[in-house]
Amino acid sequence: MNDGVRLNIRPFLSASLRKGGRAGASILRWKPNIHWRKDRGEEPKSIRPVADYPWFWSCPGSGSDDDRTDFTGGPEFDGNRWNDLHYTIAAKQAARAHFRRRQGALSEVTT
């Protein structure tokens, strides 16, 4: 099942009814058959460079919010997708500018 579906259905399953309903179904008629565990293996290292995909590079697992803010990638590739990383607007703008510069350099080489 797509991660977007699992993400979007959580509020409906966590809502509570005063009475009635089926066990575990919350406000839905039936409890959906959703597996909440990870459904994919590790990502390949060769197509996930640290500059473009820092969230695949060994995030501090029990780190504080400061460790997880503007995380630029750890020393080792672990292949797991770390979802609770937070990037400031300045970090996002710098990444977009870097991408535009790189795209411009590639277009000059190909022409």
**Average pLDDT score, the chain:** 73
Residue 57, burial from CB neighbour count under 10 angstroms (0-12, 13-18, 19+): buried
The confidence score (pLDDT) of residue 20 equals 67
Q: What is the pTM of this model?
A: 0.47
Q: What does the pLDDT read at residue 1?
A: 43
The model's confidence at residue 3, banded by pLDDT at 50, 70 and 90, is low
User: Quick one: pLDDT at residue 107?
Assistant: 66
Q: What tens digit of pLDDT does each residue of 22-70 get?
A: 676 777 777 777 766 665 666 777 777 877 777 777 776 666 777 778 7
